[in-house]
Amino acid sequence: MVPIPPPRAAGAAPGASGRVGPAAAVQFGQYPPARRTIVHVSDTHLLAGNRPLGGRYDTEANLVQTLRAVEALAIRPDAIVFTGDLADLGEPEAYRRLRAAVEPVAERLGAPVIWVAGNHDERPALREGMLDLPPTQQPVTGVWDLGGLRLIALDTTVPGWHHGDVDAEQLAWLGETLQTPAPLGTFLAMHHPPLPSHIPLFDILELRDQGRLAEVIAGTDVRGILAGHLHYSTSGSFAGVPVNVAAATCYTMNLARPASAVNGMDAGQSFHLVHVYDDTSTHSVVPVVDAPTGDFFSDEWVERMARLSPAERLDQFSRKVAPPV
């Protein structure tokens, strides 16, 4: 496993939004800082011995680059959520390599890691290798209290198949859990998204019998669904609940093609940065790319704005310069 060096010290403790630095608590706009922040990663597809996935994708190197990008945000997230397909073939060594890469980063960020099962995972090896649980075929589920924000992991995998489903036992458990609302509401994390896709291969491998899940979450405090599986970022709604799908770290789908010819490419990798507010949440696509970037905005610029009054900030930054006559 390629070691990931720790980042430089981030400075002051984080604010409610996960931001760090002297200006973290300053409210620049009409919305207060986010109540909770989640890093949403998906589809790492590691292989034992770091064999190239499909003979061409270095999944471990792409994961390491993604984790470096997560640390470069200089935030303190409330959780790091991986929405499935952690290992491509469910190999025990692949899970060990994944833990060896992710856990030191999570420890430095002070964030719990939430592992969700995907169709490429094998429940026994995942349970034993990632969760230190008995290696059984029991679904990989769990509930986390992220300071009042509840996150529930569902297992949409069907052993021996690649399509998704949520069995009756899980639905009953979910319904019982949701009977008691959480202070900041609930997010569901699952692999197969309850959304349509314009790509035929994903329609075949969709989450089946979605109406049963819709009946369980309707009228509850579920305010968002995090998913993966598609290898491209997309969003929609399901039973009145926003659904956000994070692209993969291993490879992504080249959507700049006719739907029947969409295939993977070693480009466009990203993860989502989720900010949870009282009445809404945002899901920002963070590209994992090393590209030339401007340097006008900086910590110093933000600190300078923080020292000004709201009226002074508008005057300094919002007022247009008169065009030359």
The SS3 call for residue 279 is coil
Q: Does position 4 have pLDDT exceeding 50, yes or no? A: no
Contact 142, 127 (CB under 8 A): no
Contact 285, 42 (CB under 8 A): no
Q: Tell me what the mean pLDDT of segment 225-251 comes to.
A: 98
The SS3 call for residue 88 is coil
Q: Tell me what the mean pLDDT of segment 163-180 comes to.
A: 97
Write down the pLDDT at residue 105.
98
Contact 60, 97 (CB under 8 A): yes
Tell me, what amino acid is at 153?
A: A
Write down the pLDDT at residue 5.
44
CA distance 188 to 217: 10
pLDDT digits (tens, 9 = 90+) for 193-221: 999 999 999 999 999 999 999 999 999 99
Query: How many CB atoms within 10 Å of residue 302?
Result: 16
Write down the pLDDT at residue 18.
64
CA distance 95 to 179: 34
Residue 167 vs residues 154, 155, 172, 212, 213: alpha-carbon distances, Å: 10, 9, 9, 9, 10
- Partners of 83 in the beta sheet? 116
Q: Does position 9 have pLDDT exceeding 50, yes or no? A: no
CA distance 21 to 267: 32
Q: Which residues of 170-205 are buried (b: 16+ CB within 10 A; e: fewer)?
A: bbebbeebbeeebebbbbbbbbbbbbebebeebeeb
Which DSSP string corresponds to 122-184? -HHHHHHHHH-----S----EEEEETTEEEEE---B-TT-SSB---HHHHHHHHHHTTS--TT
pTM of the model as a whole = 0.92
The SS3 call for residue 302 is helix
Q: Tell me what the mean pLDDT of segment 99-112 comes to.
A: 97
Write down the pLDDT at residue 26.
82
pLDDT digits (tens, 9 = 90+) for 44-84: 999 999 999 999 999 999 999 999 999 999 999 999 999 99
CA distance 1 to 302: 37
pLDDT digits (tens, 9 = 90+) for 253-306: 999 999 999 999 999 999 999 999 999 999 999 999 989 999 999 999 999 999
Write down the pLDDT at residue 225.
98
Q: Tell me what the mean pLDDT of segment 188-192 comes to.
A: 98
